[in-house]
C-alpha cells in the first residue's frame, strides 16, 4: 500500500499511483509519465518510482 502523502513534503501522492502503474505496464518512460502528471518534486517522484507492493 502506497502512503497517502509524501513523507518529505506532505503532498498527496496516492491519487497518482494507479495511473502511474498502468502507464508503466504499457511501457512508457517513468520520467515522461511523472512530468505529464505534474509531479515535479524529487521527493514525490521517489515515492512513486521506488514503491514496492508488498500486500496482495
Q: What does the pLDDT look like over 9-48, one tens digit per residue?
A: 999 999 999 999 999 999 999 999 999 999 999 999 999 9
Pick from 31, 30, 4: nearest CA to 15 = 4
Classify domain 1-55 at the CATH topology level.
Arc Repressor Mutant, subunit A (1.10.10)
First to last CA, the chain: 9
Question: 44 - beta bridge partners?
Answer: none
Look at residue 36 and give its three-state secondary structure: helix
Query: What pTM, to 2 d.p., does this model score?
Result: 0.86
Question: 5 - beta bridge partners?
Answer: 12
Amino acid at each position: 500500500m502506497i502512503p497517502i502523502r509524501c513523507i518529505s513534503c506532505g503532498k498527496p501522492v496516492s491519487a497518482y499511483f494507479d495511473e502511474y502503474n498502468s502507464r508503466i505496464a504499457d511501457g512508457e518512460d517513468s520520467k515522461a509519465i511523472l512530468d505529464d502528471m505534474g509531479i515535479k518534486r524529487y521527493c514525490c517522484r521517489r515515492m512513486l518510482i521506488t514503491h514496492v507492493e508488498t500486500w496482495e
